[in-house]
Amino acid sequence: MMEVNEHDTSQYNELIAFRLGEQEFCVDIMSVRDIRGWTPTTPLPHSPDYVKGVINLRGSVLPVIDLSARLGFRSTEPTARHVIIVTQVGSQSVGLLVDAVSDILTITSETIQPTPDVASELARCFMKGVLAIEGRMISLIGLDSVIAATHEGTGTLN
């Protein structure tokens, strides 16, 4: 982890890191509303494979996306050990199904490197960059593109 300069917080971002299989990813902590254990979802008809369905989040209906499948990896067979990260972008909330939450990172924006070209095109549209932390590579996920693309996937009118 990096040291935090108390006096200049605008330069620093806190991120939540999580694992999907062998790889590590992270999202901006400001867009995370909740982290909860896996609960069975209600599948939605005619939804793309990566939409696991919807769950009841304190009275509102929250769609859960299998992030692994969304990024073009294997789809997840969720167990009680899996985790749903509830994220919010704008007025919209979406749950991301991931293997496990691993870390909270504090980074400066300079630490973010551009996504290497080798990544698949699908993965690259959701990644805003990569971070090298203690010898690990962590990909930063752009939530807005995940949520926007989810919308397209449903073929909605709104």
Partner 1 sequence: MDTMAAIKQTFFQECEEQLAELETGLLAIESQQVDDDTINAVFRAVHSIKGGAGAFGLDELVRFAHTFETVLDLLRGSQIEAAPPLVKLMLRSSDTLADLVRYSRDGGEMDQARVGQLHDELMQVVNPVATPACAQSAEPHAGDDEAGGDDPEAFFPVTVTFDDLIGENSDDDGQIVFNVWFKPKPELYAKANDAAKLLRELRALGEADIACDRSDVPLLSELDPEGAYLAWNVRLVTSAGESAVRDVFEFVEFDCEIRIEAEPSVEPDFEFTPEPVAEIGPAEAPADSPAIPQAVLERLAEFAPEQAAKAAAPSAGASPAQQAQTTIRVDLDRVDRLIDLVGELVINQSMLAQRVTEAGIARLSDVAVGLDDLEQLTREIQDSVMAIRAQPVRPIFQRMSRVVREVADMTGKSVRLITEGENCEVDKTVIERLTDPLTHMIRNAIDHGLESPEERVQAGKPEQGVVRMTAAHRSGRVIIEVSDDGSGINRERVRSIAVDKGLIDADAQLADNEIDDLIFAPGFSTASAVSDVSGRGVGMDVVKRSIQALGGRIAISSRPGKGTAFTLSLPLTLAVLDGMVVTVAGQTLVVPLTAIVETLQPKNSDVHGLGETARVISTRGAFIPLIDVGRELGYRDCEADPVGSVAIMVESENRAQSALLVDGIIGQQQVVIKSLETNYGHVFGVAAATILGDGRVAVILDVDAIVAGSRSDPARSEGANRKRNAA
Query: Does residue 108 interact with partner 1 by CB under 8 A?
Result: no
Query: Does residue 44 interact with partner 1 by CB under 8 A?
Result: yes
Which region, judged by CB under 8 A, interacts with partner 1, from 18-26, 38-46, 77-85, 98-106?
A: 38-46
The 51-80 site mask, x for binding partner 1 (CB under 8 A), equals x-xxxx-xxxxxx-----------------
Shortest Å, Cβ 54 to partner 1: 5
Task: Using CB atoms within 10 Å of the CB of residue 42, give its burial: 0 to 12 exposed, 13 to 18 middle, 19+ buried.
Answer: exposed
Q: How far apart are CA 97 and CA 101, in angstroms?
A: 10
Residue ranges of the alpha helices (H) in the chain? 67-70, 121-126, 143-154
Name which position in 92, 102, 106, 145 contacts partner 1 (CB under 8 A). 92
Q: Return the CA Rg of the chain.
A: 16
Query: Does residue 145 interact with partner 1 by CB under 8 A?
Result: no
Q: Which is nearer to partner 1, 80 or 118 (CB)?
A: 80
Closest C-alpha among 39, 21, 23, 22 to residue 78 = 39
Q: How far apart are CA 132 and CA 145, in angstroms?
A: 22
User: Which residues make up the interface to partner 1 (CB under 8 A)?
Assistant: 40-51, 53-56, 58-63, 91-94, 150-151, 153-158
